[in-house]
A = this chain, B = another copy of it.
Amino acid sequence: MTSHTDSPVTAVRDYLLGLQQRITAAVLAADGADSPGFVVDRWEKPVGEALQGDGITMILEGGPVFERAGCGFSHVRGPKLPPSATQHRPELAGAPFEAMGVSLVFHPRNPYVPTVHMNVRMLAAAHPGQPPVCWFGGGMDLTPYYGFAEDATHFHRTCRDALAPFGDDKYPRFKKWCDEYFFLKHRNEARGVGGVFFDDFSELGLARSRALWEAVGDAFLAAYLPIVERRRDTPWGEREREFQLYRRGRYVEFNLVWDRGTHFGLQSGGRTESILLSMPPLARWAYQLQPAEGSPEAELTQTFLVPREWV
């Protein structure tokens, strides 16, 4: 499949590159005047057998507000859609395809500021001479170390409002999907307070499906930055830091054990350093850490890391 300048694939690429720029510019501003800034790494490589990929990896490390903030764009092309991607579209088995997306994870320094993840991705496939079929996936989810109902509610409300123009069913469906996906079965614990998640989406037709998907990407800064602003100056000490590092271990566990994108990417020869942008700058493990009953640390798991309605 060749990308023509008027194809939806090119338009989506342009959207994603613009989104990456907007988000990293806003994060840089939030990191303040002393920010070390983003390293921008343009790469191109064969990704496994017969695949070709390029991307722009952007990462800010050691900032005053963001201890590690990675935001990557990637675009992979291949001659044959893998079987795992065609379960619902057998007519496209073996067709040439393109996959692209923006993925980010921000790890703030202050334990009162939650970690956040957002991803928007598109898969397009077409048999020669036919128009491409596109489907969309993505979402965002919030992982606090200290729980605040107003933060969770703000995050979910922003997601709900972004999806509202596309039907009242979308937020509840995607919210539930998120709760199910970002769950650590080996801990019987949610990764965070959730958000929205969807995959393989094309049910509204190309234009409306893409509009829904862009609405999610476009809502990210409004969902997250007000929470950063609200919590960034909360005083914290050794206790909060230790707990944050411990909880970041859970983030590592989820991403390396359960996240399909990460696990499959690493096992199939993806670009390791770009895939592992999501890793925290520092994480710790301790045996059977049990926060004191009634402490904010115990409240996190009891009240926040369980699927519940936030709006």
Chain A residues engaging chain B, CB cutoff 8 angstroms: 39, 41, 57, 59, 61, 68, 70, 185-187, 245, 249, 252-253, 256-257, 263, 266-267, 269-270, 272-273, 275-277, 279-288
Point out the residues of chain B lying under 8 angstroms from A277, CB to CB.
287
Closest 9 CB pairs between A and B?
A256-B256, A279-B285, A186-B266, A282-B284, A186-B272, A59-B287, A256-B257, A273-B288, A257-B266
Q: B68, A285: Cβ atoms under 8 Å?
A: yes
Select which of B61, B185, B187, B256 is within 8 A of A252 by beta carbon.
B256
Q: Given A186-B266, A249-B279, A257-B266, are A61 and B272 neighbors across the interface (CB < 8 Å)?
A: no
Q: Which residues of B contact A273 (CB under 8 A)?
A: 287-288
A286 touches B61 (CB 8 A): yes
Find out whether the CB atom of B276 lies under 8 angstroms from the CB atom of A281. no
- Residue with the highest number of chain B CB atoms closer than 10 Å, among A61, A186, A276: A186
CA distance A39 to B287 in the complex (A): 9
Interface centre among A257, A277, A283 (most CB of B within 10 A): A283
Q: How far is the CA of A270 from the CA of B266 in the complex (A)?
A: 24
Chain B residues with CB below 8 A from A39, complex form: 287
